[in-house]
Amino acid sequence: MTMDYDALYKLTHGLYVLGARDGEKFAGSIVDAVMQVANKPWVIAVSCTNSSYTKECITKDKEFSLSVLSKKVAPFVVANFGFQSGRNVNKWEKVDYCVVDRLPYLKDNLATLHCKVLQEVVFESNTMFIAEVLSCANNQDEEALTYNDYRTYFKKDVLKSFEEMKKGGETAMTDNEVKEKDVKEVQKSEKNDGKHWVCTVCEYVYDEDVPFEELPDDWTCPVCGVDKSLFVLK
């Protein structure tokens, strides 16, 4: 049996802004892993990355909101909620939102759901919240944005918006991404003293995130195909 992970992208989902509460503050992130699992009572499942601040808030507060996104949503909304962590920035103050029953909702939504966690299923990477729908509203008849829309045409506009956010001086990376990137940059410059590994055959300069020393023995130059032993530090 093969494991071609692209198969998992064929499981289609919608896209949502998941809202949560942290005391007097709000948290929120983009999620696609949402499905209805029962209608007696009305129950849905939402899967959150364990490192997400929104996940942390839901684990504490046991309630969350969902705003269903339409195909007409501004790419900024996905960049704002999906590409940076609420630990660094108040994402909600950058969008039009309202608060109902303690929780934040995007004003521009197709539908909204207010949910109470019944159960948490914890995996190494994610936590699945199984939650009862306490109330819900069907607000617009536009078409829902799907995860497939995001992957096939919407992502490029989201990335453009993310670049604009970065130019505006805001951190648009999640905590983990920032930390990982910083650590890698420091490791690289400390180890190699500003030098680069260069192929002695074709002059290809290795500049990837994985340190050259940690590449497997059978790694070969992506340009001319010679092995690691023909690289020198310059």
Ligand X SMILES: Cc1cc2nc3c(=O)[nH]c(=O)nc-3n(C[C@H](O)[C@H](O)[C@H](O)COP(=O)(O)O)c2cc1C
CA–CA distance, 108 with 161 (Å, rounded to integer): 18
Q: CA distances (Å), 165 to each of 169, 171, 177, in order? A: 7, 8, 16
Residues 90-119 that bind ligand X (CB under 6 A): none
**Dist. CA 13–CA 4, nearest whole Å:** 19
For residue 12, give every residue at least 6 positions away whose Cβ sits within 8 Å of its Cβ, in sequence order, or none. Answer: 146, 147, 148
Residues 174-213 that bind ligand X (CB under 6 A): 174
The nearest distance, CB 187 to ligand X, in angstroms, is 24
In angstroms, the first-to-last Cα distance of the chain is 44
> Which of 20/199 has CB closer to ligand X?
20
Per CB under 6 A, 150 contacts ligand X: yes
CB closer to ligand X, 128 vs 226: 128
Residues paired with 206 in a beta bridge: 197
Is-contact 28 92, C-beta < 8 A?
A: yes
Sign of the alpha-carbon torsion through 137, 138, 142, 147: positive
Contacting ligand X (CB under 6 A), which of 52, 80, 112, 161? 52
Q: How far is the CB of 225 from ligand X (least distance, A)?
A: 36
- Counting contacts by CB under 6 A, is residue 54 touching ligand X? yes
**Is 60:98 a contact under the CB 8 Å cutoff?**
no
Q: Which of 19, 21, 26, 53 binds ligand X (CB under 6 A)?
A: 53
Q: Residue 112 or 174: which CB sits closer to ligand X?
A: 174
Instruction: Please pick, from the candidates 65, 67, 70, 84, the single residue that binds ligand X as defined by CB under 6 A.
Output: 84
For residues 20-49, which are near ligand X according to CB under 6 A? 27, 29-33, 47-49
The type of residue at 187 is: Q
CB of 70 to ligand X, least distance (A): 15
- Given the rule CB under 6 A, which residues bind ligand X? 15, 27, 29-33, 47-49, 52-54, 78, 81-86, 150, 174
